[in-house]
Amino acid sequence: MAVDWIGFAYAALLAVGGVIGYTRKGSKISLAAGLTFGSVAGYGAYCVTRDPRNVKILLCKCFTTV
């Protein structure tokens, strides 16, 4: 079973970006969005790791991020 390292790295970058936005500017929206979308991306990467054909969650998440 291959681990989706790129998907997990993307999820971590989203979460870290939200935390950085909160620490630099005090933006609670950045924190909430970063952690929410980061966790959804992490779950999508987990689903892809379990079944490489299961990309629905990652695709939906990518199309909802502005």
How many distinct structural domains can be found in the chain? 1
pTM recorded for the entire structure:
0.83
**7-11, 22-26, 37-41, 53-57 — which is least confidently predicted?**
53-57
Residue 54: pLDDT above 90? no
**Residue 31 structural domain:** 5-64
Spatial distance between the Cα atoms of 44 and 8, rounded to a whole number of angstroms: 9
Spatial distance between the Cα atoms of 58 and 63, rounded to a whole number of angstroms: 9
- The DSSP code sequence of 1-66 is ----HHHHHHHHHHHHHHHHHHHHH--HHHHHHHHHHHHHHHHHHHHHHH-TT--HHHHHHHHH--
Hey, CA dihedral for 21, 59, 66, 2, is it positive or negative? positive
